[in-house]
Structure 1
């Protein structure tokens, strides 16, 4: 398979290039790790092979519209709200 054919397939099937798709996968993995809380942001950047935390943050913001720390805060807020709702339901 030639490089140009792979690029054509990605554009036809996924409406993006190979590198764009790879970057989307990295950001999705970062979101998963942030949600499970197993690593801090510096560790995530290193784990996903970003050259620096600022570069990771910039790429995350471009892909999601928010910084990694803002995303982590929003997930924590949602998790806390769900936990509180479950606690209220148990008390009933």
Structure 2
């Protein structure tokens, strides 16, 4: 096999870290994306063990079984959509997942719920709220702009969902974060 699936890759920095480890092991990589590394050549068992040994202390884990690979692909697709493709959430999530993972959405949904103990929709909402928190802390966009970017139908809907998940309104969350930040002269 010249493809490995890796758990806990969630951002571009993870991709850089994994690439760096592959370089240290002198392995030719064709392509790296969230949760997946494609190699130029077939890997030996020794190479797989070396990769596991190098990645494990960094919080990554090789995934062998098919169901776990599918779960990780679902998570990585959602993370990519929410955190890395601004305002490209126009398509129906079930259609995107079915298309990218080549499985019926009902199968994906049931598998995800069985293994993760939550629904794909709840995971998706949690990721969206995490992104809203990030954008609120950056303080570069208004709540209307954030709602538009994350494809919410209205600011009110975003605010209601935010409060349901966090227990706080977006403005209260933002105020708490601002109060915790110390000015440079007080550090």
Aligned-partner Cα distance in 2 for 1:47–1:64: 20
Q: What is the root-mean-square deviation in Å for CA atoms of aligned residues? A: 1.5
Please tell me whether residue 3 in structure 1 is matched to residue 101 in structure 2: no
Please tell me whether residue 49 in structure 1 is matched to residue 147 in structure 2: no
SS in structure 2 opposite 1:55? helix
Shift of 1:2: 2.5
Residue 59 of structure 1 aligns with which residue?
Answer: 161
TM-score by length of 1: 0.82
Per-residue CA deviations over 1:31-80 (Å, capped at 9, x if unaligned) read 00011111011111111111111111000000100000000000100113
What pairs with 1:63-74 in structure 2 (closer than 5 Å)?
63-74=165-176
Shift of 1:87: 2.5
TM-score by length of 2: 0.43
Residue 120 of structure 2 aligns with which residue?
Answer: 18
Q: Please tell me whether Structure 1 or Structure 2 has the larger radius of gyration of its CA atoms.
A: 2
Unaligned runs of 5+ in 1: none
SS in structure 2 opposite 1:12? helix
Residue 135 of structure 2 aligns with which residue?
Answer: 33
* Structure 1 segments (4+ residues) deviating >6 Å: none
Higher strand share: 2
Deviates more, 1:65-74 or 1:39-48: 39-48
1:11/1:76 Cα in 2 relative to 1: closer, same or farther (>3 Å)?
same
Please tell me whether residue 87 in structure 1 is matched to residue 174 in structure 2: no
